[in-house]
Amino acid sequence: MDIQLEKKKGLRPKHYGYIALGVLLLFTAYQLLFASSVSTFRTEKDKLSIAEVTQGKFDDYITINGFVAPITTIYMDAYEGGRVAEKLIEEGTMVKKDDIILKLDNIFLYEQILQSESSLALKQNDLRSTKLTFDSRQVEGRRNLATAQNDLTRTKRNYEQNKSLYEEELISQEDYLVSKENYELSQKQYEIVKVQTENDDELRNNSLPVLEADLNRMQKTLGMVYQRLDHLNVRAPADGQLGFLDAEIGQNISQGQRIGQINVLTDFKIEADIDEHYIDRVQRDLTAILERTGKEYPLRLRKVYPEVRNGKFKVDLVFTEEKPETIRTGQSYNIKLQLGESSDALLLPKGSFFQSTGGQWIFVVGNGGDEAIRRNIRIGKQNSRFYEVLEGLQDGENVITSNYDSFGEAERIVLK
């Protein structure tokens, strides 16, 4: 009778190989699935801008857009308010200094002039009357002083004569005493008249200069009012071109209101706005170049305005040598502003990737050209064509320079 043997249960050596292969396949599938779904972005290579990083000479300049402006602009503000009665010169006209541009009417100013003239006339009459009074008192005082002096002389002589006669007992004591009393009275009267005359002279000498000074002040005030009347004629402050004129016949102009400007065309300057990124590097006396019709015109940065508006600050540049013959106010030019000396550097062509990364990282294309990997970099200076690479890239490497907004959070780009 045959006995059936049972098969042994458990893993055999060949099973281990199958298990290892299965684990490897699962790991590989997981890696591919994870990389594809989390950090990989696929796109067509032809839709991207790819540039090569090169070693070369970095020119430390920026290109700015500037507008031609007069070297000096003089604003015209109304010294006096009033209604525009006449407009003699139109915008864009060449004017000479003191040419009348506008004529204004101001009824209140005319009334003020009449009041000032009346006050001045009253003051003149008062001064004239005061002078006549002082002159009369002066004449009367001198007459009284002369009379008192004459009486004093006469009574003194009589007293001295009677004194001698009295000492010789030729006249009575009463006659002597009367002459003496008359003499003493004349002395007192003379001193009183003398003091009064001196006081009158002092009062006259002190009062008349004050009155005359008041009169002079009123005359000067009236002269200033007349000058205000002349300011109703709005005149050109300098030779030049009337740039704009904000006034029409019948319009009311307020005192101090800006009504126009004169452009002094003896020379020109370039006004430009620069991104605030460069505010620490832009200083006075930097050099710049304006190119026109194949010719270069050197410029110097004359003024840097401190205010930053809408992310930009303003500068003025002036020509240091000749300027274009056909230059006109309002023309725009591209200008190269030199910020520093040229130097050897690793150059990265400029691209819109910078708006997405801030220059902190970039996608570097691999040697096979079928993928690009995100890499951190550090960028230094920049001009209109290149960034200066300080860290993270090497000469000859290719990078994606187009916009990264569609890549999302991907760290690897598959190029098809």
* pLDDT tens-digit map of 76-121: 898 888 999 999 998 888 899 999 999 999 888 888 878 877 877 7
163 and 193 in a single domain? The answer is yes
Tell me if 147 is assigned to some domain. Answer: yes
Distance CA 347, CA 44 (A): 26
Q: For residues 29 and 335, which has the higher predicted lDDT (pLDDT)?
A: 335
199 and 127 in a single domain? The answer is yes
Tell me if 88 is assigned to some domain. Answer: no
Instruction: Quote the pLDDT of residue 4.
Output: 52
Last residue of a domain, one of 171, 205, 230: 230
Q: Domain residues for 203?
A: 108-230
At position 57, the amino acid (one-letter code) is: K
Q: How many domains does the chain have?
A: 3
Sheet holding 82-87, edge to edge: 233-235, 100-105, 82-87, 252-253
Sheet holding 398-400, edge to edge: 40-43, 412-415, 371-376, 361-365, 398-400, 50-52
47 and 113 in a single domain? The answer is no
* pLDDT tens-digit map of 158-199: 989 988 888 888 888 898 899 899 999 999 998 998 898 888
Buried-state track 177-212, b at ≥16 Cβ within 10 A, e below 16: eebbebbeebeebbeebeebbeebeeebeeeeeebe
318 and 296 in a single domain? The answer is yes
159 and 123 in a single domain? The answer is yes
112 and 201 in a single domain? The answer is yes
Tell me if 128 is assigned to some domain. Answer: yes
Angle (nearest 5°) at CA 64 between 360 and 344: 55
288 and 222 in a single domain? The answer is no
CATH number at residue 373: 2.40.420.20
218 and 112 in a single domain? The answer is yes
Burial of 115 (0-12, 13-18, 19+ CB in 10 A): exposed
Distance CA 337, CA 323 (A): 17
End-to-end distance of the chain based on CA atoms, in angstroms? Answer: 73
* 65-74, 212-221, 401-410: range with lowest mean pLDDT: 212-221
Confirm whether pTM is higher than 0.85: no
Tell me if 291 is assigned to some domain. Answer: yes
Tell me if 12 is assigned to some domain. Answer: no
% residues pLDDT > 90 (the chain): 26
Instruction: Quote the pLDDT of residue 298.
Output: 93
115 and 217 in a single domain? The answer is yes
Tell me if 301 is assigned to some domain. Answer: yes
377 and 333 in a single domain? The answer is no
